[in-house]
């Protein structure tokens, strides 16, 4: 059990501090959702928002002496299941156009698997970054935060954030090339 992750540490004035939780766990949740196969930014953001809403609505039922991350991951996994079940239900109840669209999507399966494999390798490589570098990379590329916003959060100049991102991209590019991927641009 990680003592830094105990729920009572995220409570202010008798209520869960969602802002503090979001600051610490959004990247972790984002990565979990992306690894499940969901890649649309809006869908990912919706799942994360729903996670925090469910946590807020159930805060009285939480054992404050237990870690927070298992609660969050449990909620996210249930929301991911719901997401995929809605998708499959749509297909079953849909019309022929839905099936045609599905066939078109399935024709891109090989491309999809390659993208998932690349994303998986990128995430594995990112996990080797120093925590600050990892957070900056995820905030910029996965959470789509602005350079200015990241710079303010870490008390860096925008130039320093851009430089860090440039260096991290170069490290990543070299690693992907070693892994046999062709890199454009």
Q: Which residue ranges of the chain lie beneath pLDDT 70?
A: 1-4, 85-119, 179-185
Q: Which helix (H) or strand (E) holds 15?
A: strand 15-16
**For 40-78, what is each residue's pLDDT tens digit?**
888 888 899 888 888 888 888 888 888 888 888 888 888
CATH class of the domain comprising 109-185: mainly alpha
pTM of the shown model: 0.49
Q: Cα 151 from chain centroid?
A: 20
Here the tokens at position 168 are 């991290």
The architecture (CATH level 2) of 1-107 comes to Orthogonal Bundle (1.10)
Q: What are the boundaries of each domain within the chain?
A: 1-107, 109-185
- pLDDT of 163 reads 92
State the Cα–Cα distance between residues 183 and 185, nearest whole angstrom: 6
């Amino acid at each position: 059990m990680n003592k830094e992750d105990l729920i009572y540490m995220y409570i202010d004035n008798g209520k869960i501090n969602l802002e503090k939780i979001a600051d610490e766990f959004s990247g972790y949740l984002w990565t979990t959702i992306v690894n499940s196969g969901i890649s649309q930014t809006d869908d990912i953001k919706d799942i994360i928002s729903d996670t925090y809403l469910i946590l807020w609505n159930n805060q009285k039922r939480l054992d404050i002496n237990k870690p927070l991350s298992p609660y969050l991951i449990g909620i996210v996994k249930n929301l991911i299941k719901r997401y995929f079940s809605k998708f499959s239900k749509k297909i079953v109840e849909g019309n022929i156009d839905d099936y045609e669209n599905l066939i078109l999507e399935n024709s891109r399966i090989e491309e999809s698997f390659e993208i998932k494999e690349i994303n998986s390798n990128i995430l594995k490589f990112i996990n080797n970054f120093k925590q600050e570098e990892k957070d900056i990379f995820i905030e910029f590329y996965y959470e789509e935060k602005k350079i200015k916003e990241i710079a303010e959060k870490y008390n860096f100049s925008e130039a320093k954030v851009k430089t860090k991102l440039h260096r991290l991209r170069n490290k990543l590019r070299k690693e992907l090339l070693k892994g046999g991927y062709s890199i454009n641009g």
